[in-house]
Amino acid sequence: MSEFGYAGANAEPTGWLVNSRWWLNAGLAALIAALALVLVFKPGHHKAPVVPALTTLSAGQIGHIRLLRPGQPEIDLVKSGGRWIMTAPRRARANRFRIEELLHLATARIVTHFTVPAADLGRYGLAKPDAVVWLDDEKISFGGPHPLDPDHYALYRGQVYVVPDHYDNAAIAPLSGFFSTRLIENRGKLVAIRLPRLSLARKPDGSWKVTPADSKLSTDRINTFVDDWRYAQALSVSPYSGKPVIARARFTFASSPVKAARGHSVAAAPGKRVLVLGIVERKPELIFYRKDEGLEYHLPADMASQLLELKPH
């Protein structure tokens, strides 16, 4: 202590200063605890009730979809080997995106629904539905549009639901909308491509041999060309028109190993599968014909140079 009674620089804090700091820390701790409680309990906010799914089905367990629309052929879609196949009115590969839209209907959580006497179903367009969809054995009927929202009425197990418009669009889509737009499916290993003016064969090391040979073609360019075929999709698909085939594209697939239990691969039965696409038109659009499905696949005319000609970039 100096002669004037002030503490030096190294002196202990006085009692009142210690108490002030303690109260400050305690206050901060209380404030933090209060904020934590607000974040956890959110006073004034109530959790919205959980809306149950429309059906008790899960998308993955559904194996059969059936659609009935007035004046149109009945559509039957069956899941086989992990893929969806149309079995009626013709056998063809199904459009998986259209299938997914219908499968999601099973687990849709729809808030607005109410009971309507059978005599009043006509007010909602449900006396004569625009479409009836069966997901396995669950029947869902689609009626008229909602007067105020871009939604539609649907009938399921005696209840009228107000469902988003995209479900109705999927249910009433034309038959052509249920065909897969992929030219070729990736089933098995693609080992050879034979086109009108060139052919490609996969070598044991995985690279491709091109005939006629062109030293200017890079490996990347060749692989891109093969991928263009593997992922090519049509703009539209329609039943075969009967036009004559002017050329053909032939694809050879080797059997793929089969996945057994615990993820082990088992060699598939030896053999190859050949897919032939007929070319029926190159202009004003490029059209391929799949005889196995009886369908035409329509692409822009400029896709002919991308799919039928292999040139260096």
Q: Which residues contact 95 (CB under 8 A, 6 or more apart)?
A: 177, 178, 179, 180, 181
Nearest CA-CA partner of 200 in 233, 232, 231, 227: 227
Size of the chain, expressed as the number of residues it contains:
313
113-115 and 151-156 beta bridge pairing: unpaired
Mean pLDDT of 254-276: 62
Mean pLDDT of 59-81: 96
Backbone angles phi, psi at 144, to 5 degrees: -85, 175
Question: What pLDDT shows up at residue 157?
Answer: 95
Strand, helix or coil at 172?
A: coil
Q: Which two tokens stand for residue 271?
A: 């053999």
Question: What pLDDT shows up at residue 139?
Answer: 97
Q: How far apart are CA 90 and CA 147, in angstroms?
A: 37
Question: What pLDDT shows up at residue 53?
Answer: 87
Q: How far apart are CA 59 and CA 55, in angstroms?
A: 10
Mean pLDDT of 26-31: 66
Give per-residue pLDDT as tens, 131-149: 999 999 999 999 999 998 8
Q: How far apart are CA 215 and CA 198, in angstroms?
A: 14
Mean pLDDT of 44-48: 58
Q: How far apart are CA 180 and CA 184, in angstroms?
A: 10
Mean pLDDT of 93-101: 94
Strongest mean pLDDT among 36-40, 123-127, 263-267: 123-127
Model confidence at 63, pLDDT cuts 50, 70, 90, reads very high
Model confidence at 163, pLDDT cuts 50, 70, 90, reads very high
Model confidence at 16, pLDDT cuts 50, 70, 90, reads low
Q: Which two tokens stand for residue 17?
A: 């200063």
Q: How far apart are CA 102 and CA 105, in angstroms?
A: 5
CA angle 40/42/47 to nearest 5° reads 100
Nearest CA-CA partner of 67 in 33, 95, 31: 95
- Higher model confidence: residue 75 or residue 46? 75
- Higher model confidence: residue 184 or residue 40? 184
Mean pLDDT of 109-120: 92
Residue 255 pLDDT exceeds 70: yes
Find out whether 114 and 159 touch, Cβ atoms under 8 Å: yes
Question: What pLDDT shows up at residue 141?
Answer: 97
Q: How far apart are CA 20 and CA 15, in angstroms?
A: 9
Average pLDDT value for the chain: 86
Q: How far apart are CA 284 and CA 238, in angstroms?
A: 16
Backbone angles phi, psi at 130, to 5 degrees: -70, -30
Model confidence at 6, pLDDT cuts 50, 70, 90, reads very low
Residue 40 pLDDT exceeds 90: no
Question: What pLDDT shows up at residue 306?
Answer: 95
Q: What is the pTM of this model?
A: 0.77
Question: What pLDDT shows up at residue 148?
Answer: 85
Q: How far apart are CA 169 and CA 101, in angstroms?
A: 9
Question: What pLDDT shows up at residue 118?
Answer: 93
Residue 1 pLDDT exceeds 50: no
Give per-residue pLDDT as tens, 174-204: 999 999 999 998 778 999 999 999 999 999 9
Find out whether 241 and 296 touch, Cβ atoms under 8 Å: yes
